[in-house]
Structure 1
Amino acid sequence: MPSSPAPRGAVLALLATIGLWAYSWVVMKQVLAYAGPFDFAALRYLLGAAVLFAAMLLARQSPPLVPTILIGLCQTAAFQGLEQWALVSGGAGHVALLAYTMPFWAVLLAWLILHERPAERHWLGLALAGIGLVCIIEPWRGLGNATSTALAIAGGMAWAGGTVLSKRLFRRHAVSALNLTAWQMLAGGVALGLVALAVPQRSIAWSGAFVAGLAYSVLMASSLAWWLWSIVLRRLPTTVASVGSLGVPIAGVLLAWAILDEVPRPMEWLGIAFVLLGLCAVSGVRLRRR
């Protein structure tokens, strides 16, 4: 059937995005030893946009200006700027988990704006994933640095807004995923650049480690991963795509454990199990039906 390749390709794109973004949280934490959060975020997305524009030199199509700028401000400027700022005083695993409250905000916004009412299995998956996130975050132990926590959650909300706006744009206009990714990344990168110029930060300490981290962030975590995420949003329902993204903080926690020595607690392991059950309820059932 004609519709079969699209969901399969979108699932593969989602799995690749999970891997690329999971490791990026470790990189984002490490590069703060060499640069301020806004300088790095601005460099990452301005260079990422340049890479994508180079990839689409032969394409003359450009997406609608105002919606694209709004998407860029939400899911590139606000999301990345707030999360990079949160990492200044918060651990990579903890900030990643708080950022990925995004699916819960996205499902509500998609219901209100796109009229995508979640099915029963989606509510079940969200409930299981919500229990998992509560177990992982353990709010009864305190949420760590209050500023870092607030920034991380606000970033997740901004990303949710960008996700829903992207989905709406794909519905209303014939825009390719590559075009939208490049233009929204440019809009968000310019906004981050203005913030970086306005906010005093430490000077960038150019070194091999910083250049390597920047290269990974630009080429893999920004250019490639955000393009794949646009494909996911275009081809999968908002609920499935958003909840599926919860694989990123799980992998991020494990990588932070292996690389940054941020050892998961027993409740975090329990939370990971609940999140995986939620992913099965939302994504697994959907894929079997397709």
Structure 2
Amino acid sequence: MSATRSSARFDALLVLALLSLIWSYNWIVMKQVLQWSGPFTFAAWRGALGAVTLFLLLLWRRAPLRPPPLAPLLWIGAAQTLGFQALVQWALVHGGAGKTALLAYTMPFWVVGVAWLVLRERPTRAQAVAVAVAFAGLLLVLEPWAGLGRLESSLLAIAAGLCWAVGTVLSKRLFQQGRATILSLSAWQMAVGAVGLVAVAWAADEPATQWTGGFIAALAYNAVLASGLAWLLWTYIVDKLPMTVSGLTSLVIPIMGVLFAWAVLGEAPSPAEWTGIALVGAALAIVALAVKPAVGGSRGD
């Protein structure tokens, strides 16, 4: 490997570390913002401002503004933005930021089943082992023997991961067909999902938002960093690193989210949860290390 190429790889790894920090800490931001806003109201603002930021990025990069095919775009927007963001914010109302992040990041395991149904991609032996290990870990994280009162937010977070998986598989099919680019699809599907989020927030009739400095900072963090800068960083990483390496963000982000929640919010996992986290992390590693290079998109917040 030439010195120039080695330097580019090192720079990309530094960018990957910065991206992981931005997306993992955003789980803390999304939890804290609930003291000033209803979950669906914040999700609507986040989706709308995120869409505006991504379209500004398209204009800045002089990329075509033509939307992807309408039918798959509507399905992806409904799953990946409307479903994912609404369910995640709802889960955070009563659930911890770290646990919610971890359970939402079960997305790679749901992708195995959804891809089997939609793309006819049969799971490999490594994927089957990962799913089995993850299931054991999820049981320990959920701790159903501790009572059903704490189960609702966990199930909402898992449902969010399933929505994300559906959006990911449908996105992959569009990429395979050469009918969309990562940034264009991200902008358009977020715009479609934001419309749905606004409708949900209106129907939910939540209390008035408190426009405090903290709320405005949370919106800015999500629009500028988690949606805007993070997508620029992600595009750079995809260009400079193999997908097998960049895909490891799926492993790093939820683990960092758990650690941030512990340090900032005092959410100390129980011994059973620590064991479950370790098992889910091991399963994510199996999936990430066994994946073959492919063209596709991602999200992380």
Residue identity in the other structure for 1:127: A
**CA distance in 1: counterparts of 2:163 and 2:225, whole angstroms:** 22
Identity of aligned pairs, percent? 51
* Structure 2 residue corresponding to 1:24, chosen from 23, 26, 34: 26
**CA distance in 1: counterparts of 2:159 and 2:282, whole angstroms:** 26
In structure 1, the residue matched to 2:115 is 110
1:209 and 2:214 aligned: yes
Matches within 5 A, 1:115-264: 115-225=120-230, 228=234, 236=243, 241=247, 245-264=250-269
**CA distance in 2: counterparts of 1:27 and 1:14, whole angstroms:** 20
Residue identity in the other structure for 1:100: Y
Q: Show structure 1 runs of 5+ residues with no match.
A: none
Please tell me whether the aligned partners of residues 40 and 197 of structure 2 are also in contact (alpha carbons under 8 angstroms).
yes
* Structure 2 residue corresponding to 1:59, chosen from 59, 63, 88: 63
The structural deviation recorded for 1:224 is 4.4
The structural deviation recorded for 1:286 is 5.0
TM-score normalised according to structure 1 size: 0.83
For residues 14-63 of structure 1, give each alpha carbon's deviation from its aligned partner in whole angstroms, at most 9, with x where no partner exists.
Answer: 76654333211111110001111111111111111111111112222431
* Structure 1 residue corresponding to 2:84, chosen from 76, 79, 84: 79
Please tell me whether the aligned partners of residues 112 and 127 of structure 2 are also in contact (alpha carbons under 8 angstroms).
no
In structure 2, the residue matched to 1:48 is 50
In structure 1, the residue matched to 2:287 is 282
Please tell me whether the aligned partners of residues 96 and 252 of structure 1 are also in contact (alpha carbons under 8 angstroms).
yes
- SS of structure 2 residue aligned to 1:212: helix
Q: Show structure 2 runs of 5+ residues with no match.
A: 294-301
Please tell me whether the aligned partners of residues 98 and 153 of structure 1 are also in contact (alpha carbons under 8 angstroms).
yes
In structure 1, the residue matched to 2:297 is none
The structural deviation recorded for 1:245 is 2.1
Q: 1:134 to 1:220 in 2, by over 3 A?
A: farther
**CA distance in 2: counterparts of 1:102 and 1:108, whole angstroms:** 10
> Bigger shift: 109-118 or 56-65?
56-65
Please tell me whether the aligned partners of residues 129 and 275 of structure 1 are also in contact (alpha carbons under 8 angstroms).
yes
The structural deviation recorded for 1:255 is 0.8
**CA distance in 1: counterparts of 2:78 and 2:199, whole angstroms:** 12
TM-score normalised according to structure 2 size: 0.81
Total equivalences in the alignment: 278
Q: 1:150 to 1:115 in 2, by over 3 A?
A: same
Residue identity in the other structure for 1:273: A
**CA distance in 1: counterparts of 2:198 and 2:41, whole angstroms:** 7
Q: 1:88 to 1:286 in 2, by over 3 A?
A: closer
Please tell me whether the aligned partners of residues 79 and 158 of structure 1 are also in contact (alpha carbons under 8 angstroms).
yes
The structural deviation recorded for 1:203 is 1.0
The structural deviation recorded for 1:93 is 2.1
